[in-house]
Structure 1
Amino acid sequence: MPMSNGTRTDMRRVARGIRRRLSRLAEPPVPRTAHRLVPDPVFLISSVRSGSTLLRVLLNSHPEIRAPHEMHLRTLTVDLTKPYTEKAMTELQLDRRELEHLLWDRVLHRELVRSGKKVIVDKTPGNAGVWERLHEGWPGARYLFLLRHPASMVSSLINNRPDRDLDATVREVRGYVEAVEAARAALPGLTVRYEELTERPERTTQEICAFLGVAWTPAMLEYRRGDHGPFVPFIGDWSDNIKSGAIQKARPLPAPADVPAPLRDIARAWDYPC
């Protein structure tokens, strides 16, 4: 019995679908790193009130390093507003996560090109909570881990806003430092201590430059001479200390008896007295 035109059409459609699937299987997978305009950005993994803005402006004072204010890339999202939008992206083998990686990468690349420099550093403290996502999106990324005595972070937060609840602040800091420690345990990188950065800034910045593969310059220690953008809330420190343009000595380490109990284990793990 001869086939109807409709049956032939259906068979041709099925055959085309099979050929498409076979052609995709035959194609070698495209490494996600091939899509990155910035294959090896530097992510500074730190807590809030750990001295990250100071480290940022010292790095940004280097002629080859761009370290802008906090960019909060993790909150920059992609919205596939229609079912056919998701269908179209699926045909391109792009899911929402990878689309967001492409968007974040484009922001990093734009800022790097605009600066005319070679290395870009993102210092957003919130990156500590998404380090796995950053590693997924940038297998070639480099990491700086900035430590500070956890109790000093608590004191700094409360000094900045005396109305803060102490227990809530301790819980906030513990959440950050646990994330930083998890990242340190899983990722290669260079650990920097805020106390050493303020006590011996020349030696510490030399170590960072060696890690990043750039030549050290004393200009890094004169950050008051550069344009680092505004010092305002939500995108970095805005205290008088950072606005002074000078590296301020770290406050003395807290006495062991003054370290809140929930922070003692991580303080010991970071070799701080407690």
Structure 2
Amino acid sequence: MAMSWRYRANATLEGLTGYTLTRRLRKELTESVPKPPPKPPLELQRLPGDTLRGPVDPVHDRLLREPVFLLSSVRSGSTLLRVMLNSHSKVHSPIETHFRRVTIGLGTEPVRQAMEALGHTHSDIEHIVWDRLLHRELTRSGKPIMAEKTPSNVFAWRRIATCWPDARFVFLLRHPMSIVQSWHEADPEKRPMEMAVPRTLTYMTHLEEARTRLEGHTLRYEALVADPEAELRRLCLFLGLEWEPAMLNYGRQDHGAFVKGIGDWRDKIRAGTVVEGRPLPSRDEIPADLHEICRQWGYL
């Protein structure tokens, strides 16, 4: 009777211990295997086989004809150039639209099937939306030429050139060290100088890449503020436009809000008159990381 009790007690203990150990082992094994990340919602997933390409049917896929894109780094005077162009009777140059950030979501399987059946890639549909958005802005202005300027477009110059094969490009350069200083001064606390060089250099590098691969017109900020009429006359010639003196009197016209995030917002641009550029830095004031881009742009 005693043996039977001890046997039953040991058997129960062994069973409980084994069960506990087994559960722990399974738990440890389960926890050691990484779980696959959850799939993003369907509306955030790109269509399979997404291919970047030009308009499949140029006549019907694009409403905007020969758009102009001002490519520049941040803090290069692109807002000044924008409002000068926008003062021309035939050019509409709106606030920074950031259109390249506009994406589309296809949230159900039927709509995804339909888009593929219609022959669209995901990028195709986004290009149609981009084109429609900019074309709407242009037609509402009553002018024939769209000139868009968003500095981050330099990161998407290939896609922009693919979306609009007939696009025209204007490259606005400024002394790299002046860009760095201006970017820092726009918000000294949030933009310390140690961040200024690497942040702005990415814009400059992509701008130079675009400038060497795309045909277009290059102008310099320093030349624009020193002799705006001469530079604007050259730009008008490139765009096939007659020079208009109103381009110098941009302060008399409405150019939309000057708001941080969609263009220059400081008092200098609000003044409505061209302000002389800052003195160019000496070679000793230029960090080594900027020497190559300075050389490429002819500032050394």
TM-score range, shorter chain: 0.7 to 0.9
The residue type equivalent to 2:172 in the other structure is L
Task: State percent identity of aligned pairs.
Answer: 47
In the aligned structure 2, how far is the partner of 1:39 from the partner of 1:134?
13
The residue type equivalent to 1:158 in the other structure is H
In the aligned structure 2, how far is the partner of 1:72 from the partner of 1:198?
26
CA contact (8 A) 1:223 1:246 kept: yes
Question: Normalization by structure 2: what TM-score?
Answer: 0.80
The residue type equivalent to 1:186 in the other structure is R
CA contact (8 A) 1:33 1:39 kept: no
From 57, 64, 71, give the equivalent of 2:97: 71
The within-5 A match list for 1:250-269 is 250-269=277-296
In the aligned structure 2, how far is the partner of 1:148 from the partner of 1:32?
38
The residue type equivalent to 1:91 in the other structure is A
The equivalent of 1:225 in structure 2 is: 252
The equivalent of 1:186 in structure 2 is: 213
C-alpha deviation, 1:170, in angstroms? 0.6
In the aligned structure 2, how far is the partner of 1:175 from the partner of 1:201?
28
From 56, 63, 74, give the equivalent of 1:48: 74
Partner-residue secondary structure (3-state), 2:218: strand
* Unaligned stretches of 5+ residues in structure 2: 1-53
Is 1:176 aligned with 2:200?
no
Partner-residue secondary structure (3-state), 1:222: helix
Question: Normalization by structure 1: what TM-score?
Answer: 0.87
In the aligned structure 1, how far is the partner of 2:57 from the partner of 2:99?
18
Shift in alpha-carbon separation, 1:30–1:262, aligned structure 2, 3 A: closer
Is 1:90 aligned with 2:102?
no
In the aligned structure 1, how far is the partner of 2:134 from the partner of 2:223?
29
What stretches of structure 1 move > 6 A for 4+ residues in a row? none
Deviations along 1:43-66, one digit per CA (max 9) or x if unpaired, are 111000000000000000000000
In the aligned structure 1, how far is the partner of 2:128 from the partner of 2:139?
16
The equivalent of 1:248 in structure 2 is: 275
Partner-residue secondary structure (3-state), 2:100: helix
CA contact (8 A) 2:181 2:196 kept: no
C-alpha deviation, 1:168, in angstroms? 1.7
Shift in alpha-carbon separation, 1:120–1:95, aligned structure 2, 3 A: same
CA contact (8 A) 2:175 2:280 kept: yes
C-alpha deviation, 1:167, in angstroms? 2.4
Partner-residue secondary structure (3-state), 1:37: coil
How many residues end up aligned between the 2 structures? 245
Is 1:152 aligned with 2:201?
no
From 157, 163, 166, give the equivalent of 1:137: 163
The equivalent of 1:125 in structure 2 is: 151
In the aligned structure 2, how far is the partner of 1:171 from the partner of 1:147?
17
In the aligned structure 2, how far is the partner of 1:107 from the partner of 1:226?
23
Partner-residue secondary structure (3-state), 2:202: helix
C-alpha deviation, 1:165, in angstroms? 2.3
From 52, 58, 67, give the equivalent of 1:33: 58
| Bigger radius of gyration | 2
C-alpha deviation, 1:131, in angstroms? 0.2
C-alpha deviation, 1:226, in angstroms? 0.7
CA contact (8 A) 2:201 2:290 kept: yes
RMSD: 1.2
Partner-residue secondary structure (3-state), 1:241: helix
C-alpha deviation, 1:33, in angstroms? 2.5
C-alpha deviation, 1:186, in angstroms? 0.7
CA contact (8 A) 1:43 1:142 kept: yes
